[in-house]
Amino acid sequence: MKLLNKYLISFAAVALAACSSMDIDDAEAISENFPEDFDGAVYMELHPELVSIQVRNYIADYNASVKESLAAEAVTADADAFAADTALLHQIYATPCYGGYGEERWQDAWAPVITDSLVCRTEKVYVQLNLWKKTTVTDSTGEEKVDSTTINLVAPITVVKDSADTTKFVSVTGMPKDDSTATEPVTYEISDSVNVLTGKNMGKSEMDTVGCDTIPNEKPGSLKPLEVNFLKNFNFIDSQDDWKKIKAVPIDTLAISLQYVMFGEAHGWAYRKCKDSEKNNPAIAEEYPVKKRYCADADGVVREIK
């Protein structure tokens, strides 16, 4: 069922309520205005939303009559159970004369929602790196002493880390800043004699993006909040067998037929299905109040009856 504009439905509901309250004589007087080929069953088939209005109104009146006799906790528990019954919601949602959204839309609503996220990895890149190198020197007396020097490396610098412990350096390659004879990067193996200075003396570094991956994020589908609120109109607050009670709601078929005379005709509602010879007739272009009568083709397009 194609749900109509909410304002149009509101007016239709008023007209339907007026039809329901008419006495037999009034109804018969108005019925003289029906087209000769009008069929109430066909009109109801084309406009199942009118059945939906009656069902929801019936349930609203019923709930109002029993609510005061029920504990608030019981009403809340019933509402929670109704909202959790996916099979029941499915039946109501997809049935044309109740929810009217259709099976295809139900399936689409529950389809997983997949969005892509870009996840990038960053790595510390050294622009300057300072090494500590232990050396042995011989003093004037011929005695060997331990001394140290600092090696300043500048970019391009390559660092190889321990695969088992990435906080440890295996080797470092870079241009010695203070060695004017160096024409290409020099590799220093990290050992007891050569190490990397730490803290503020370590040098300069910056973060660089080394690669990005597109990661799909999948979220389960769900009904829209407005749809859920609409479905709540079909809940009998004192029953766990809502589907059985919904199907048992009495439908005033005369009121639905009379709705065409009081409202539908002037608003261009199709009252029957188009014949094969009418399937290419112009689509409706009039605005209220319309002067012509209309049919609906197989695709639901409202077309003029000539």
Q: What does the DSSP assignment read for 185-248?
A: -EEEE-SSSEEE--GGGSEEEEEEEEEEEEEEEEE-----HHHHHHHGGG--TT-S-HHHHHHT
Q: What number is the average pLDDT over the span 266-278?
A: 97
The pLDDT assigned to 8 comes to 41
| Mean pLDDT on 136-154 | 84
Reported as a single tens digit per residue, the pLDDT across 8-27 is 444 455 555 555 555 555 55
Q: How many CB atoms sit inside 10 A of residue 17's CB?
A: 14
Written as six digits, the tokens of 120 are: 């990038």
Q: Tokens 């689409």: give the residue.
A: 108
> Which amino acid, one-letter code, is at 148?
S
| Angstrom distance (rounded) from CA 133 to CA 148 | 5
Structure tokens that stand for 250 in this block: 């009495």
Residues 91-106 have a mean pLDDT of: 97
pLDDT the model gives residue 18: 52
153-206: pLDDT as tens digits: 999 999 999 999 988 999 999 999 988 888 899 999 999 899 999 888 999 999
Distances (CA, A) of 214 to 82, 121, 208, 217: 39, 12, 18, 10
H helices of 67-196, where?
72-84, 86-94, 103-110
pLDDT at 221: 93
Per-residue pLDDT, 123: 86
Residue 141 is predicted with a pLDDT of 78
pLDDT at 130: 96
- Is pLDDT at 64 greater than 60 in this prediction? yes
User: How far is it, in rounded angstroms, from Cα 108 to Cα 131?
Assistant: 62
Distances (CA, A) of 187 to 20, 158, 161, 200: 94, 9, 13, 23
* pLDDT > 90: percent of the chain: 75
Q: Residue 22: what pLDDT?
A: 53
Q: What mean pLDDT do residues 141-148 have?
A: 81
- How far from 30 is each of 18, 19, 208, 261, 283, CA to CA, in Å? 12, 10, 80, 7, 28
Residue 246 has pLDDT above 70, yes or no: yes
Average pLDDT in the chain? 89
Q: pLDDT at position 3, please?
A: 36
Give residue 124's pLDDT: 87
Contacts of 93 (CB under 8 A, 6+ apart): 99, 101, 105, 106, 223, 227, 231
Tell me how far apart the alpha carbons of residues 89 and 84 are, in angstroms, rounded to a whole number: 8
SS3 string, 232-285, reads: HHHCCCCCCCHHHHHHCCCCCHHHHHHHHHHHHCCCCCEEEECCHHHCCCCECC
pTM above 0.85, yes or no: no
Check residue 10 and give its pLDDT: 44
Return the H-helix or E-strand segment holding 32. Answer: none
Nearest to 38 by CA among 254, 298, 276: 254
The pLDDT value given to residue 51 = 97
On the question of pLDDT at 238 being above 90, the answer is yes
Examine the pLDDT at 1 and tell me if it is beyond 70: no
